[in-house]
Amino acid sequence: MRSIPTTMATQHPDNACAAFWLGKSFIDSRDEVKECLVAFEALGCHEFMWDWEGKYVDEAVIERVFEEDLAYFRKKALGRDIFLTYRLPNIWVEKGSYRILRAFANILAAHDIAKDIGLHCPPVFEIILPMTTSADQLVYLQGVYSDFARLIRKDPERRIGSGNPPIIEIIPLVEDIPDMMGLGDLIRRYVSLYRRKGLARIKELEYVRPFIARSDPALNYGLVPAVLGAKVGLSRAYRAAEESGLEVYPIIGCGSVPFRGNLSPLTVKRFLEEYPGVRTATVQSSFRYDHPAEDVTKAVKALNRVLAKGSRAPEMSGEEARDAEKLIAVFKKHYRATIIEIAPLIIEMSRHIPRRRERRLHTGLFGYSREITKGVSLPRAITFTASLYSLGIPPEVIGTGRALREAFDVGLSESLSRLYVNLKRDAEEACAFVNRENIARLKGRFPALAGVEEDLKWLEGVLGIQTEPSHNKHLIHRNMTSNILLLLEEGRNVSEMVEETAVLRGFMG
C-alpha cells in the first residue's frame, strides 16, 4: 500500500506577502519549480499540486526538479515518499482537451526519465479532475490514458517510450454542493464502472482519494452551506468506501480565511476539530507565505502528525443529513439574494485585486466562466473574497445573520451548532474586518446591503459576538477600506491600498 500524503502544497494565489524564498509576492510559472522544492525540502509538505487548470504551467517540471536537486530525490523518492500530483483541466467544462493529452504524455515521459537516471518510478501516477460531476468522467479519462499508454507499448521495436505507468489513478474534486451530497453515490458508481470496464485487470482499485472543495461552494452558496456540504460529503464517502471494500482518504481544499476554510498556521487545532475524517489538507500560498517560516513548518509538522493517524468522519444519521440539507437551503437563500444584487460592485472592485500568479483568463479564448446563477458571473473565489474584504464587507457575514434567525425560528439551531463546531469563532474573526460606514455609504447604490446590516444585528443577537473592529489592527483596516471606497468612487486605482489591507489582515482572499 502506498504512503498517503497528509499535506498538499498548492498554487492558489491567495498570499498577501512575498514568498520568503523569492522576495516578491508575484510568483510566475518560472518560479514554481523552485516553489515545489521549497514546499518539500524547507516546509515538510508531502505533496505538491502541479496545476494545469486555468493557468500557464512549466511542462518540463520533472526534468527541472530532478536537475535542481538530484541528491534530494535520491533520498526522498518522488512517487513513493513525496508526491507531485497534476490537476488537469476538465474537458467537459474548459476548452482545450489537447492540454489533457500533453499532460498524459508528460506522465508517461516522467516514468522513463526517472528510470533512465536510476530514480523511483513512476514519479507521477495520480491526477486530480476538477469540477467532477460523475463517475463516468473518471473512468473515461482513465480509459483514454490507458489506451494512450498501450499504443506506445504496442511496437517494442520502434516505440518512443515504455508506456508506463499503464494506468493513472484519479482524484475526483467535487466543487458543487449537490455533488458533495452525492459523493457516496459517485464512489459506488466509480468502483462499479472501474471493474466493469476492465481497468481492474490493469491495476486493482484499493482506495479512493475524494477531494472536497471549500472555496467554490462558499462562493456559490455561502459560508455555512460550504461547511455543511463538506461534512455530509465526508460522512457519505466513508460509508460508500466501506460498502465497496475500499479504503478512503479524503482531501479538503481550505484557504486561510474563514470563508474559504480557515486553515492557517494559527488555526490548525480548529481545522482538525472541524473536519475529522480528512486525511490530506491543502496548504495554500497564504498559509505558506503570510506567516513566519518557522510557524509554517511547525504547523505543517502538526498536520502531518495528526492526519497520518487517521480518523473516520462521524457517521451522519438520516435525520442529521436532512437537517443539513434544510440548513443549506436556508443559508443559500439569504446569501444569494444579496450576492446577486451586489455582483456589479464585486466585479468593479475585483479589477483592483493584485495578481499573484500567471492565471489564464477563465472567460477568454481558452477559458470558461463559473456562474453563481443564470446571467450572474463572479470573479474566482480568491478575488471575490479579496474584493469584499477590501470594502469592509466580509463574505462570511452575507446572509448569515438572517439565516441564523430563520434557523432558530424553525428549530434547526441545535443541529447547526452540532454540525458546524466553529461557527461562532469563524464569524467573530470575520466580523473584526467589518466597515459599517462603507456598508451604509454603498447602500444608496446597492439597497440589498441593508440585508447585511440586518445580518450584523442578528449575528450579535444570536451568536452574542461583536460585529465591528476593536483592536488596533482591525481599526486601521477599517480606516483603510474607507479610503479605498472613497478613491474607488473617484475612479482611482486602489491596487496598492488593497495590497496593504491584505498584508494587514494576513491573506489576500
Q: What is the CATH number of domain 7-309?
A: 3.20.20.60
Residue with cell 504547523: 299
What per-residue confidence (pLDDT) applies to 99? 77
pLDDT digits (tens, 9 = 90+) for 153-193: 876 666 678 899 999 999 999 999 999 999 999 999 999 99
Least confident of 139-153, 252-266, 492-506: 139-153
DSSP label of 82 = B
pLDDT digits (tens, 9 = 90+) for 273-309: 999 999 999 999 999 999 999 999 999 999 999 999 9
DSSP label of 460 = I
- Does residue 93 have a pLDDT over 90? no
Give residue limits of the domains in the chain.
7-309, 318-505
What's the Cα-to-Cα distance from 379 to each of 104, 254, 388, rounded to whole Å?
Answer: 30, 18, 11
Amino acid at 377: S
DSSP label of 19 = P
Residue with cell 444570536: 462
What does pLDDT average to over the chain?
Answer: 93
In the numeric block, which cell numbers belong to residue 326? 434544510
- Does residue 445 have a pLDDT over 90? yes
**Helix segments in 117-182, DSSP class H:** 135-153, 177-181
What's the start-to-end Cα distance of the chain, in Å? 37
What per-residue confidence (pLDDT) applies to 364? 34
